[in-house]
């Protein structure tokens, strides 16, 4: 839009019902703080500036919101005297003369871009105030939207509604767009003549009626307007967000055998024709290329999975895991800050950390890179087409050359040159008849004939 726009986000609540040591807008949905969801969505509709109305954890909330890249200012609401009072804390910013002013609630991260655009469109087509409402299955507790002749003439709070008004199912969604050139004029005329003695921003509709200004309503999906005051409601938000993200990915060509058991993050990127089995967790920073398979009960975070790679089941990719095309990380394996080359295999029960593995290598079961000396992490390098036998320990820093072979059970504490075989085992000794004597002794102890 060519119109300038300011978003005022109300996030000054104490979050007392959340029973949390931090502001509720710092709690995450899909791994991203709630406040960041809202600011990011505002950025999608070309918001010029965001003013945060803050209370608890103000500095941390401001810094978190600023990470989205949108210009942000913060205002502290010292006393809580209602939503209109909250918006007026940003008086200095509002007075700069933006075309549109959007008043948004800070605990509703699911708001869609389309709803915000509809609010602004209402202003662009001549309304002075536009309010987002929704059709409620159960309207109890919500302010009722009173519509006459296609205009919004009032918003009546539940406690102050008549019996007839309480039958209305079209309810206030908490989002209001205001003509920025008269926003302060309208808000300044709101009074606190109500049961709670607060300045309700919703009363701006009545002010419009008094001044002959135009106010209208738009209809938004109820799920877009969901907020949270408790941990239970936070979980409901998470469930709805996850549902939307899964649907988005499946519509793009991703297969999920049991979608409800797959958990995604705000920045998860999964390409077409990827298969995801049940009970998989994607933490922040994961990208999966096409035709890859993520098998059941795997946990990925900060990882890249190349085309056609296979992960799991029961695998863990930690930050810095970088898996090449057609590579494999098998069951009960862990990879951390390691590059696995194209076609290489990390088989079951192995740990590869702080490592570079070349192409076509085979890491046998139970192999571990010993990367930490108690103070520092060290690098292990494993060359192309090398073979690491099962139950080997590679003590970093160490380099295994191309096409080298490490025998099973070997402890490697020095470099293995290209094409060499490394073996370090205690020579096997067979004691004739000893097994029989051991069994007889143990049986006697069990029978009580001998003391241990």
**Tens digit of each residue's pLDDT (9 = 90 or more) over 330-355:** 999 999 999 999 999 998 999 999 99
pLDDT at 47 (0 to 100) = 93
Spatial contact of 215 and 172, defined as CB atoms under 8 Å apart: no
Question: Is pLDDT at 449 greater than 80 in this prediction?
Answer: no
pLDDT at 137 (0 to 100) = 87
Of all residues in the chain, the percent with pLDDT exceeding 70 is 99
> Which band of pLDDT confidence, cut at 50, 70 and 90, is reported for residue 110?
very high
Mean pLDDT along residues 214-237: 95
Mean pLDDT along residues 291-317: 98
Mean pLDDT along residues 400-424: 96
**Tens digit of each residue's pLDDT (9 = 90 or more) over 17-37:** 899 999 999 999 999 999 999
Of all residues in the chain, the percent with pLDDT exceeding 90 is 88
Closest by Cα among 124, 132, 151 to 5? 124
> Which band of pLDDT confidence, cut at 50, 70 and 90, is reported for residue 452?
low
**Tens digit of each residue's pLDDT (9 = 90 or more) over 265-301:** 999 999 999 999 999 999 999 999 999 999 999 999 9
Question: Is pLDDT at 426 greater than 90 in this prediction?
Answer: no
What's the chain's average pLDDT?
A: 95
Name the helix (H) or strand (E) containing 51: strand 49-54
Handedness of CA 230, 166, 190, 119 (dihedral sign): positive
Record the pTM.
0.91
Mean pLDDT along residues 291-315: 98
Question: Which stretch of 84-98, 159-173, 321-335, 381-395 has the lowest confidence by average pLDDT?
Answer: 159-173
Per DSSP bridges, beta strands 351-357 and 72-76 are unpaired
pLDDT at 276 (0 to 100) = 98
**Tens digit of each residue's pLDDT (9 = 90 or more) over 232-265:** 999 999 999 999 999 999 999 999 999 999 999 9
Catalytic residues: 348
| All domains in the chain, ordered by first residue | 5-225 (3.90.550.10), 231-422 (2.160.10.10)
Q: Which residues contact 298 (CB under 8 A, 6 or more apart)?
A: 280, 281, 311, 312, 313, 314, 315, 316, 317
Calpha distance 42→39 (Å, rounded): 5
pLDDT at 377 (0 to 100) = 95
pLDDT at 427 (0 to 100) = 85
Question: Is pLDDT at 1 greater than 70 in this prediction?
Answer: no
Place of tokens 């409901």: 236
pLDDT at 381 (0 to 100) = 98
Mean pLDDT along residues 59-80: 93
Question: Is pLDDT at 58 greater than 70 in this prediction?
Answer: yes
Calpha distance 138→332 (Å, rounded): 47
Per DSSP bridges, beta strands 421-422 and 405-406 are parallel
């Amino acid at each position: 839009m060519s119109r300038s726009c300011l978003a005022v986000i109300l996030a000054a609540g104490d979050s007392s019902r959340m029973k949390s040591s931090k502001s509720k807008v710092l709690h995450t949905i899909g791994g991203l703080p709630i406040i960041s969801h809202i600011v990011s969505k505002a950025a999608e509709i070309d918001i010029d500036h965001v003013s945060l109305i803050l209370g608890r954890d103000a500095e941390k909330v401001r810094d978190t919101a600023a990470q989205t890249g949108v210009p942000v200012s913060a205002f502290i609401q010292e006393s809580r005297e209602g939503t209109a009072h909250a918006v007026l804390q940003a008086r200095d910013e509002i007075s700069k003369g933006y075309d549109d002013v959007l008043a948004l609630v800070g605990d509703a991260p699911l708001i869609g871009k389309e709803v915000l655009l509809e609010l602004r469109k209402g202003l662009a087509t001549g309304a002075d105030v536009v309010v987002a409402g929704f059709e409620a299955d159960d309207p109890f507790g919500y302010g009722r939207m009173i519509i006459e002749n296609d205009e919004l003439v009032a918003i009546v709070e539940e406690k102050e509604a008549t019996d007839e008004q309480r039958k209305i199912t079209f309810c206030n969604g908490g989002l209001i767009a205001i003509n920025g050139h008269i926003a302060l004029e309208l808000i300044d005329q709101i009074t606190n003549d109500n049961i709670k003695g607060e300045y309700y921003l919703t009363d701006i509709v009545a002010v419009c009626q008094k001044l002959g200004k135009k106010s209208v309503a738009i209809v938004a999906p109820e799920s877009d307007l969901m907020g949270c005051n408790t941990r239970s409601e936070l979980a409901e938000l998470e469930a709805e967000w996850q549902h939307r993200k899964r649907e988005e990915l499946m519509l793009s060509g991703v297969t999920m055998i049991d979608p409800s058991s797959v958990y995604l993050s705000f920045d998860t990127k999964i390409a077409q024709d990827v298969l995801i089995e049940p009970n998989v967790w994607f933490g922040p920073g994961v990208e999966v290329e096409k035709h890859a398979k993520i098998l059941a009960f795997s946990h990925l975070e900060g990882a890249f999975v190349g085309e056609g790679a296979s992960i799991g089941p029961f695998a863990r990719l930690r930050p810095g895991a970088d898996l090449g095309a057609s590579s494999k990380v098998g069951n009960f394996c862990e990879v951390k800050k390691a590059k696995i080359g194209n076609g290489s295999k990390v088989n079951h029960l192995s740990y590869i950390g702080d490592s570079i593995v070349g192409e076509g290598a085979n890491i046998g079961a139970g192999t571990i890179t010993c990367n930490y000396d108690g103070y520092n992490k060290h690098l292990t390098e494993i060359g192309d087409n090398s073979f690491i036998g099962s139950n080997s320990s590679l003590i970093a820093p160490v380099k295994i050359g191309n096409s080298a072979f490490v025998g099973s059970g070997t402890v490697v504490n020095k470099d293995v040159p290209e094409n060499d075989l490394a073996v370090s085992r205690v020579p096997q000794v067979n004691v004739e008849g000893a097994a029989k004597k051991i069994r007889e002794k143990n049986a006697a102890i069990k029978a009580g004939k001998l003391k241990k």
